[in-house]
Structure 1
Amino acid sequence: MTTLLDEHPRLGGEPVLRELSIPSSTYYRWRQAETEPCKRHRQDAELTSRSVRSTTSPAESTAHLACTPS
């Protein structure tokens, strides 16, 4: 929704939101969440990055250390 209104500012936010029965407070909360994620989303992102790091195999994590024969 925020992308639609960003790409078509001439439409005006309030009329579009009213037509879609979306409270303006919900729209502004979505906008805020784009720049300031809530604590839960920040924790999820951190846990996801930890999970990705821990599932990387030792061969993948040390591949950059392999020596190439000269």
Structure 2
Amino acid sequence: MHVAARHGLPGVVRRLLRAGADPDQRDALNRTPREIAVMRGFVDIAAESAPALPGGVSMARFLRDPH
């Protein structure tokens, strides 16, 4: 999943998540796929793997929508 996040491949990220990939797995530099996506500017990918907030609010809304 780290490679898909690094290269901005949202479809691959979605398929990996549906297949059970761990979005919190860390790479050799201790980064999650979400952190890599944010660093590279792939906000949609970061939102795909973001956990829901309490109350069922998606973190994706906060990553995608300007404040």
Q: TM-score, normalised to structure 2's length?
A: 0.28
Higher-Rg structure is: 1
* Greater relative CO (CA pairs within 8 A, separation 6+): 2
Q: What is the TM-score when the length of structure 1 is the normalising length?
A: 0.27
Q: Give the structure with the higher percent helix.
A: 1
